[in-house]
A and B are shown apart, each in its own frame.
Chain A
Amino acid sequence: MTTLELTADEAAIAGGAQGEAARLAMRIVTRYGAVTGAPRLIPISGAHIDACMYHGQASLDFVDRLLELGGKVAVPTTLNVGTLDLLHPELSRIDEDQRDRGRRVMYGYARLGARPTWTCAPYQEAERPGFGEDVAWAESNAIVFANSVLGARTDRYGDFLDICAAIVARVPYAGLHVEENRRATVCFDASDLPDEILAGDLAYALLGFVIGTRSGSAIPALAGVAPGQSEDRIKALGAAAASSGGVALVHVVGTTPEAPSLEAATQGQAPRWTHELTLSDLRAARQTLNTAAGSEPQAISVGTPHFSLAEFGQLASAVKDAGADFTLPFYVNTSRYVLSQADDRGWVEPLRSAGATIVVDTCTYVTPILGPDIRVVMTNSAKWAYYAPANLGIGAMIADLDSCVASAVAGRAIEAEGGLFP
């Protein structure tokens, strides 16, 4: 293992000068740093904690240990989703013991000083990191969004490192904190895809799935899509790529800040390979994600990652245009902050009266919220469609938001105009 050089201040923290929790956190940060080959630590301006979901006794033991030792975060810190919607705990079909454990982990991290945001989309909160800022973000979609869309710098951190970095306000100088490691090494070219496909939102979720599957943990660039794509499209693309692969940064040429051109994204070097994307790539991705192909949906779930304010606006107008209530259960996952903003705009009440259930603090693919008899779900999220079959034993079908609304109203799978393709 490489030797990590600590400054005098860092060595003091490692020796217990800031208490026992900081000593433990520094030991974990430095052990992790040795694995990454980092020569030193660097300061961070914020953290996002994924460890606040209950994954068994170890989740509780770790947060309890930090609390017993007097831990406190030293930088502004947000929290990822937890096991249950704390405002509507009755939504989760788990027993009281599991609820209690979920709650204890969620509140435990809040007691360490993190803001109780409980969202997988901390980039939709009021404050978010700026270009070039070093942060310690965990949760795969948050990582890829921070690096790609914000141009902030975080490595692909796992649970535990997130909170330890927040306590000592430092991370190892390695991975995506290092400028030259951020260059795209593989390239995807969407130039041959039909414009009408790239004009729809669904294409971006499917592109992400293809890119993740083919990239593994390499850094991809996507060229050949129109410049200035919305944050929501890159959110869907990144979340899919971080699920089907280990993608932590994707450069979208003409959209993301480190990719004004393909040459900028690759830092002037030739990519290892370029894949010309075809319609059959997207069809194959859709086929893989459509684990319930041929069935009819019994519920709809949107908002994975958490629904943004713009998506609420889009949904509110689709529901208004439909002019009818949902006949299928319709779940929207979001954060408390975005929900309150959407509510201020008058978008939430019409959704609820059409029959939507709005879930905060957690997500329908990580915990049993959908009714026990629901076996087939339509979603606009490649991430949801990817994980739900294994997590919940549910089959998925993927379609765009307009198709989700039309299907929820009709009670069967409807292809909204332009929403789907063969």
Chain B
Amino acid sequence: VTMRSGLTVAPGAAEGELLALGESISLWGAVDRVTGRITAPTHPQHGQSITGRVLVMTSGRGSSSSSSVLAEMIRSGAAPAAIVMEQTDGILALGAIVADELYATQMPIVVVSPADRAALAAAARARIVARESRATITLVTAAGGLRPGA
């Protein structure tokens, strides 16, 4: 178990299996908001579901509507457990902020260094605790789960 730290874009606590995207994604126009599956036919992880995963990608891209799609996925339970990125993406931040305001449901978004993003991509699971400004990421490199309180 190793710890990393990051900057909080949206607060919250979550744990899940990691899904490191080979290519950043626009939640609108490339993901089915109901099933969570990646629908963009050219995406390297086409067909995989982002629901409940700790989603790792470099940056945001594409549509402004991704804010709406993320808020809706948080409401319905189809959202990722958390999103970890190298660059802050305001469009995704808005989806998380509005879901928090409307439904009092938090989905953490954290920005980390390129080296830490690479470390995440190699791990199996992560627990994210994103407080006001700083976030802690606990990685599990082998399948087997986190120790309680780790």
A216 to B59, CA, bound (A): 8
Q: Are B94 and A161 in contact (CB under 8 A)?
A: yes
A140 to B102, CA, bound (A): 25
Give the bracket for the number of chain B residues in contact with chain A.
35 or more
With known contacts A55-B28, A57-B76, A65-B102, A157–B68 Cβ distance under 8 A: no
Ordered by A's residue number, 24 sampled pairs between the chains whose C-beta atoms are within 8 Å are A1-B133, A24-B101, A35-B9, A35-B10, A35-B90, A55-B33, A55-B72, A56-B33, A58-B102, A140-B63, A156-B64, A157-B64, A158-B65, A158-B90, A158-B95, A160-B67, A160-B71, A161-B94, A162-B64, A175-B90, A216-B59, A243-B29, A291-B42, A389-B40
Residue of A nearest to B94 (CB): A158
Q: A interface vs B, CB < 8 Å?
A: 1, 24, 27-28, 31-32, 35-36, 50-51, 53, 55-59, 61-62, 65, 138-140, 143, 155-162, 175, 216-217, 242-246, 288, 291, 387, 389-391
- CB 8 Å contact bits of B114-144 with A (1 = contact, 0 = none): 0000000000000000001100000000000
Q: Are B39 and A160 in contact (CB under 8 A)?
A: no
Residue of A nearest to B134 (CB): A1
Is B87 part of the contact surface with A, judged by Cβ < 8 Å? yes
Q: Which of A27, A242, A288, A390 contacts B101 (CB 8 A)?
A: A27
A12 to B99, CA, bound (A): 24
Q: Are B91 and A158 in contact (CB under 8 A)?
A: yes
CB distance from A105 to the nearest CB of B (A): 10
CB distance from B107 to the nearest CB of A (A): 13
Tell me the total A-B contact number using a CB cutoff of 8 A: 140
Q: Are B72 and A58 in contact (CB under 8 A)?
A: yes
With known contacts A35-B90, A288-B42, A390-B29, A217–B61 Cβ distance under 8 A: yes
Told that A143-B64, A159-B67, A160-B71 touch, could you supply 16 new A-B pairs with CB distance under 8 A? A35-B9, A55-B28, A55-B33, A57-B76, A58-B72, A140-B62, A156-B64, A156-B90, A157-B94, A159-B65, A160-B97, A216-B59, A216-B61, A246-B59, A291-B41, A391-B29
Q: Are A390 and B39 in contact (CB under 8 A)?
A: yes
CB distance from A290 to the nearest CB of B (A): 12
Q: Which residues in B have their C-beta under 8 angstroms from that of A57?
A: 72, 75-76
Top 4 A-B residue pairs of the complex, sorted by shortest distance between their CB atoms: A158-B67, A158-B91, A56-B72, A55-B68
A155 to B93, CA, bound (A): 14
Q: Are A217 and B101 in contact (CB under 8 A)?
A: no
Residue of A nearest to B29 (CB): A387
Q: Which residues in A have their C-beta under 8 angstroms from that of B66?
A: 158-159
Q: Are B68 and A59 in contact (CB under 8 A)?
A: yes
Is B60 part of the contact surface with A, judged by Cβ < 8 Å? yes
A159 to B76, CA, bound (A): 18
A217 to B87, CA, bound (A): 9
